[in-house]
Amino acid sequence: MSRDRERSNVERVLGRLKDEFGARNLRVRGHQKVTCHLMFGMLALTLGQLMRLAL
């Protein structure tokens, strides 16, 4: 896979994380809380992709 293609995939995932899972405007403070919120978003994104593959 070319570097541009990989980068495009990463940008697409980050865009979805920001637009659909609230990573654009976080309303928490502290490194641990921010990390927790972002990881919940990543978990939701991953589960959605797994469900899509299963169907």
What is the distance between the alpha carbons of residues 41 and 20, in angstroms, rounded to a whole number? 9
Predicted model pTM: 0.74
Give the position of tokens 């502290």. Answer: 30
What pLDDT was estimated at residue 4?
84
| 25 φ/ψ sector (left φ>0, alpha ψ -120 to 50, else beta) | beta
Task: Write out the residue range of the structural domain in which residue 47 sits.
Answer: 3-54
pLDDT tens digits for 3-54? 888 889 899 999 999 999 888 998 999 999 999 999 999 999 999 999 999 8
The total number of structural domains that make up the chain: 1
